[in-house]
Amino acid sequence: MIRGTIPAIERWAAGLYHDVLTFAQWAYRDAMRLVDTLFRWVGAQFGAFEHWVINSIWAPLDKIAQRVLGWILKEGAYVYYLLTHPDKLVALLAGWLWREWFALLKRYGRTIAKYLIGHIIGELAALAPVLEDVLTHLL
């Protein structure tokens, strides 16, 4: 019986060793598969976050920066030129002021003339001695 028992124990131990080794290999492969799945999920989350940052933050900011840079290169250069060349700025403003002044005179000239004539007539008594002095000094 001992002779039959020892080989049976050896076979049982070998089978148990084989079962434990098979279970350990399966557990290791399953754990590695789960770790690999976790790494892929984390990578996908980072990719989705990167995609969101690019589309929601970077692209709009880049678009704004491109528009600002375009304005600076186009209009800003002209503004800088006018600020560094005051004679050109004065010529530009003077032309605009003359056009606006004449447009106002066309629109309100009659009203302004009536006011000035009425005001001059009202102040004629005070204005007469001044006109006499001016004419005396001129002649």
Question: Over the stretch 99-123, which tens digit does the pLDDT of each residue have?
Answer: 998 888 888 888 888 888 888 887 8
- Cα–Cα dist 39/9, whole Å: 44
CA angle 91/92/98 to nearest 5° reads 85
Q: Can you tell me the distance from the alpha carbon of 40 to that of 23, in angstroms, rounded to the nearest whole number?
A: 25
Would you state the pLDDT for residue 9? 86
> Whole-model pTM?
0.43
